[in-house]
Amino acid sequence: MRRYEPQEIEPRWQRVWADERTWEVSNAPELDGGSSKPATSYVLEMLPYPSGEPHMGHLKCYAIGDALAHFRRRRGERVLHPMGYDAFGLPAENHAIRTGRHPRESTDASIAEFRRQFRSWGVSIDWSRELATHEPEYYRWTQWLFLRLFEQGLAYRRDAAVKWCPTDETVLANEQAKDGVCERCGTPVVSKQLEQWFFRITDYADRLLDDLDSLDWPEHVKTMQRNWIGRSHGAEVVFRCEELGTDYPVFTTRPDTLFGATFFVLAPEHPDVLRLNDSPEVRSYVERAAAEPSEQRGSELGEKTGIALGRTVTNPVNGEEIPVYVADYVLMEYGTGAIMAVPAHDERDHEFAQAFELPIREVVRAPIEEGGESPTLLPYSGDGQMVNSGRFDGEHNRVAFDAIVDWLADEDRGRRSVNFRLRDWLLSRQRYWGCPIPIVHCERCGLVPVPDDQLPVELPDIQDYAPKGRSPLAAATDWVETTCPSCDGPARRETDTMDTFVDSSWYFLRYCDARNGEAPWGREVLDGWMPVDQYIGGVEHAILHLMYARFFTKALADLGLVGFEEPFARLFTQGMITREGAKMSKSRGNVISPRDYVERYGADTTRCYMLYIGPPDQGADWSDEGVGGIHRFLARLWRIGDEIAEPERGAATIDGAGNGQPSPLLRKAHWAIDKVTADLRDRFAFNTALAAIIELVNDAYRYKDDLLASPEGTVQLRFAVATAGSLVFPFAPHLGSEVYELMTGTRVWEQPWPEADPALLSSETFELIVQVNGKLRDRVAAPAEASEAEQERLALGSERVAAQLNGGQIVKTVVVPGKLVNFVVR
RNA sequence: GCGGAUGUGGCGGAAUUGGUAGACGCGCGGGCUUCAGGUGCCCGUGUCCUUCGGGACGUGGAGGUUCGAGUCCUCUCAUCCGCACCA
């Protein structure tokens, strides 16, 4: 008996696909024979960050994407399925510093390995569109796009308190400093005052939030983005300090509680703190708070600290003078850096009031629950009736909300206002391995953009790219010193580089027109492919990458460069692959490499197992025993194909209807077509699709000997095996091609996706379920066309039902046509 | 604390619309094939009881709706993920 040898089969098919450039698609589809334009489909997996070699997460992502790409192609769509590399970034540079090897070298080596492995996995990629973000042909356009945003004022420079990682010696985006530590290296971040480049993403906060409703994305990802943008509706209210003659606006979501404001708090970073009081105590408090980034502040929640400034401000609703404090629970980044404190209706203000023995005045009374008159437990943040609020007493607080804001607006002491949690995107990095910012600093002209025809500003080769607190590029004197494009005087280049998230915010656009040397893309080409029909990647990008790419797309739409507002119509987030119940990591020593499995079992087995392990949006634990099971299945399919192959390839007819009576196997084949099609079309149910194909192959073995006894049976058996090959092709493209060719002599990817014959999906009889009081008691054969009365009669004839009756009486009969009969017996 | 998700055999999971719980795979048990070595074929496998006909129980837990609930409702427990002084 011959053996299934993926090591021989897989490279053979890969060569065919490479030689014939099978998966390339053109941007200008030829209308074949005047037929209507075929539907297009853009299937995209998030581009990999090339570091070392691909891991299991990559394999999972591309196994999912490739299955969908193949399925859509064979259903007649023109599918764009490209690949590229997110090549700039900190890890490559840190690795380079450790090993002394230039980041370009290690990155290029890694890209070569990724490319080699993707080919060895048999992924159907259009390699003619391959790109890498560190190539000048790519980042030339990253710089070009930066300049368009700069012209619009969407890229700007400002002095800001920024998060700084002392280990990586660079500033970080808000989003890259989670829980007060650097996302990359885990070092606690510190606060620094520096001039930095920002993108004005906050201008797009409303649209980024509102347009989420139009997206077919997982609900939890949309929720995360909504929370991150954090839109709150409320009012800005002005409190005046008469002694200094200064107005202090605050943002509040609860203007209805204004009468309950009994003190006022400034953030330590608020510029007026020392103006109000510059005693040594206040100075030291402010300095201590400034050294700590906001994330680490008050880590023991509830322990409120602060200092009274010995000043008062006037509450605009009742003229009350209330004391002013400085306290670190108020953040400078949010709102105005100052708050009105309402201890009766805000938990944090309540804690502060208790610690400093400040008055607590209830102004919203909780409705009395039926059954008791419990006093309102403070702090209370719900709705209720206004009390202690002058002429608003007795009103519902929601009504008073509007009335108070309108009144303040008339008095010019306030207005309706909306606040966001989202901050502008800090994009500059004091690092070497990134896209240079195409700006020149001129003493006379200020910030001068590098003219488009001088792009790209190439990243120079330097010897020492280790971070030193300023960009390593600053040491490349020849490169830094230049002339001003505006006045021709001496000038210096910007030495910061861009955050890599800028590179990946538009790569999906470049794929559409990847070889365009005149522009980042042609707009009509883009509109033919975009938006991405199906985007696939990990949840770890739910906020950062996906938010930035959406911002870029909207900004480019406003510039008229693209004709759509959202880049990714449909998103799928894959779950993580674990090993022995834990995330794979070098320190745990539980890392397994796709390469080992591909070499040992073949790419088809590894890919199929990845999809068979469970629902792809959930995490799953890798098991070597499970891989063996899938390998056995593929080997069985190959072996039966090998055994029954027509010696003269192509001579076999595989007419699905077959000749003579349809065998149970023929029916099973059509059932499998129907099942796999639905699982792939309507949901990402690869595991159950594969289970259906396994059932088909198992049945092929079961009926093989019977069917081989007659020529008609042999044809039906070949059809079933060819169908298994055809259906398995999106998951195991090499084996699918091999088996299909053994059966038919043709290439499976050139064949349309099979269609189930409805006549073979139904049969003349079915198994009627017979229940007594909802419990299964018997199954009887019933004609498919049986009427309800007939079903009931058949069920009554069951001996087991009679035994169950046992003197009881049937009080009710429920008949579900084509399914079951249930007798209610008492 | 707030928000989201998930709980089904020894294990991964299936059950798509309220209608046969456990598809398919792993593991385990048995048989066959002179079969030596990661890889063949077939059968069995939720738990307990059984006079071997079958019966009782069973989807984290407790209630409820229904002829019928893994699926719907209420409460509750556990695990995982995200956010977290956002005024």
Task: Encode pLDDT of A473-507 as tens digits.
Answer: 988 999 999 999 999 999 999 999 999 999 999 99
Contact between residue A598 and residue A6 where contact means Cβ atoms under 8 Å apart:
no
* Nucleotide showing the shortest C1' distance to residue A678 CA: B16
CA of A619, C1' of B9: distance in angstroms: 21
The contacts of residue A448 (CB under 8 Å, 6+ apart) are A439, A440, A441, A442, A484, A485, A486, A491
pLDDT, tens digit, 9 for 90 and up, residues A521-533: 999 999 999 999 9
Give the Cβ contact number of residue A816 at 10 Å: 13
Give percent of chain A with pLDDT exceeding 70.
93
CA of A779, C1' of B56: distance in angstroms: 20
Structure-token pair, residue A38: 């075929």
The contacts of residue A132 (CB under 8 Å, 6+ apart) are A50, A84, A85, A87, A107, A111, A138
Average pLDDT estimate for A44-65? 94
Position A554 scores a pLDDT of 97
* Nucleotide showing the shortest C1' distance to residue A257 CA: B87
Position A37 scores a pLDDT of 63
CA of A32, C1' of B50: distance in angstroms: 71
CA nearest to nucleotide B67 C1': residue: A824
* Nucleotide showing the shortest C1' distance to residue A620 CA: B12
Position A370 scores a pLDDT of 43
pLDDT, tens digit, 9 for 90 and up, residues A592-602: 899 999 999 99
Position A1 scores a pLDDT of 66
CA of A618, C1' of B78: distance in angstroms: 19
Q: Cα A759–A761–A765 angle (5° rounding)? A: 90
Average pLDDT estimate for A394-407? 94
* Nucleotide showing the shortest C1' distance to residue A769 CA: B20
Rounded-to-integer distance, Cα A499 and Cα A175, Å: 12
* Nucleotide showing the shortest C1' distance to residue A298 CA: B85
CA of A620, C1' of B59: distance in angstroms: 20
Rounded-to-integer distance, Cα A592 and Cα A605, Å: 15
CA of A360, C1' of B73: distance in angstroms: 41
- DSSP label of A762: S
Lowest mean pLDDT among A340-349, A657-666, A703-712: A657-666
Contact between residue A266 and residue A326 where contact means Cβ atoms under 8 Å apart:
yes
Contact between residue A275 and residue A244 where contact means Cβ atoms under 8 Å apart:
yes
* Nucleotide showing the shortest C1' distance to residue A294 CA: B85
CA of A781, C1' of B32: distance in angstroms: 34
Tell whether the model's pLDDT for residue A372 goes beyond 50.
Answer: no
| Bridge partners (DSSP) listed for residue A325 | A265, A308
Residue in this structure with the two tokens 């035994």, named with its chain if needed: A803
CA of A105, C1' of B5: distance in angstroms: 42
CA of A814, C1' of B6: distance in angstroms: 35
* Nucleotide showing the shortest C1' distance to residue A695 CA: B24
CA of A153, C1' of B77: distance in angstroms: 54
CA nearest to nucleotide B83 C1': residue: A227
Give the Cβ contact number of residue A13 at 10 Å: 21
Tell whether the model's pLDDT for residue A175 goes beyond 90.
Answer: no
CA of A225, C1' of B4: distance in angstroms: 12
Position A651 scores a pLDDT of 46
CA of A341, C1' of B2: distance in angstroms: 21
pLDDT, tens digit, 9 for 90 and up, residues A534-572: 999 998 888 899 999 999 999 999 999 999 999 999 999
Position A178 scores a pLDDT of 62
CA nearest to nucleotide B35 C1': residue: A1
The contacts of residue A800 (CB under 8 Å, 6+ apart) are A770, A777, A778
Tell whether the model's pLDDT for residue A667 goes beyond 50.
Answer: yes
3-class DSSP state of A573: strand
* Nucleotide showing the shortest C1' distance to residue A689 CA: B24
Residue in this structure with the two tokens 């890599």, named with its chain if needed: A500
* Nucleotide showing the shortest C1' distance to residue A777 CA: B20
Structure-token pair, residue A35: 């037929």
Average pLDDT estimate for A250-267? 95
Tell whether the model's pLDDT for residue A605 goes beyond 70.
Answer: yes
CA of A671, C1' of B21: distance in angstroms: 22
pLDDT band per the 50, 70, 90 thresholds, residue A139: very high
Report, in ranges, which bases of strand B sit under 7 Å from a protein C-beta. Answer: 3-5, 11-16, 19-21, 23-27, 38-43, 54-56, 67-69, 81-87
Rounded (to 5) percent helix, strand, coil in chain A: 40, 20, 40
| A352 or A379, which is more confident | A352
Mean pLDDT, chain A, rounded, equals 89
Cα dist from A60 to A8, A30, A67, A534, A577, whole Å: 23, 34, 11, 15, 8
pLDDT band per the 50, 70, 90 thresholds, residue A650: low
- Containing A664, the helix (H) or strand (E) segment is helix A664-682
CA of A1, C1' of B34: distance in angstroms: 16
Position A582 scores a pLDDT of 80
pTM given for the model = 0.92
* Nucleotide showing the shortest C1' distance to residue A816 CA: B19
Position A373 scores a pLDDT of 46
Tell whether the model's pLDDT for residue A515 goes beyond 90.
Answer: yes
Position A95 scores a pLDDT of 80
CA nearest to nucleotide B2 C1': residue: A227
* Nucleotide showing the shortest C1' distance to residue A775 CA: B68
CA nearest to nucleotide B40 C1': residue: A1
Give the Cβ contact number of residue A797 at 10 Å: 12
Lowest mean pLDDT among A216-230, A444-458, A616-630, A775-789: A775-789
CA of A369, C1' of B75: distance in angstroms: 19
CA nearest to nucleotide B54 C1': residue: A800
Least Cα distance to A447 among A821, A155, A132 occurs for A155
- DSSP label of A301: T
Tell whether the model's pLDDT for residue A805 goes beyond 90.
Answer: no
* Nucleotide showing the shortest C1' distance to residue A333 CA: B86
CA nearest to nucleotide B82 C1': residue: A224
Residue in this structure with the two tokens 């990134």, named with its chain if needed: A434
* Nucleotide showing the shortest C1' distance to residue A423 CA: B86
CA of A774, C1' of B57: distance in angstroms: 15
Q: Sign of torsion, CA A484 A486 A488 A489?
A: negative
Quickly list DSSP for A765-794. Answer: EEEEEEEETTEEEEEEEEETT--HHHHHHH
Tell whether the model's pLDDT for residue A360 goes beyond 70.
Answer: yes
Position A315 scores a pLDDT of 97
CA of A744, C1' of B42: distance in angstroms: 30
* Nucleotide showing the shortest C1' distance to residue A178 CA: B83
CA of A223, C1' of B77: distance in angstroms: 26
* Nucleotide showing the shortest C1' distance to residue A813 CA: B67
Cα dist from A788 to A533, A774, A776, A810, A821, whole Å: 46, 18, 18, 17, 9
* Nucleotide showing the shortest C1' distance to residue A224 CA: B82
Residue in this structure with the two tokens 């990243």, named with its chain if needed: A459
Instruction: Give CA A706 to chain center in angstroms.
Output: 51
Q: What is the ipTM of this complex?
A: 0.94
* Nucleotide showing the shortest C1' distance to residue A819 CA: B19
Residue in this structure with the two tokens 């014939």, named with its chain if needed: A20
Least Cα distance to A344 among A403, A232, A259 occurs for A259
3-class DSSP state of A62: helix
- DSSP label of A192: E
pLDDT band per the 50, 70, 90 thresholds, residue A93: confident
Structure-token pair, residue A376: 């309102």
Give the Cβ contact number of residue A375 at 10 Å: 9
CA of A773, C1' of B63: distance in angstroms: 21
Q: Sign of torsion, CA A195 A197 A200 A202?
A: negative
Rounded-to-integer distance, Cα A771 and Cα A113, Å: 61
Contact between residue A83 and residue A127 where contact means Cβ atoms under 8 Å apart:
yes
Structure-token pair, residue A18: 């490479």
- Containing A691, the helix (H) or strand (E) segment is helix A686-708
CA of A688, C1' of B32: distance in angstroms: 31
CA of A576, C1' of B11: distance in angstroms: 19
Position A177 scores a pLDDT of 67
CA of A781, C1' of B82: distance in angstroms: 52
- Containing A172, the helix (H) or strand (E) segment is strand A170-172
Longest dimension (CA), chain A: 109
Structure-token pair, residue A236: 């800005």
Tell whether the model's pLDDT for residue A369 goes beyond 60.
Answer: no
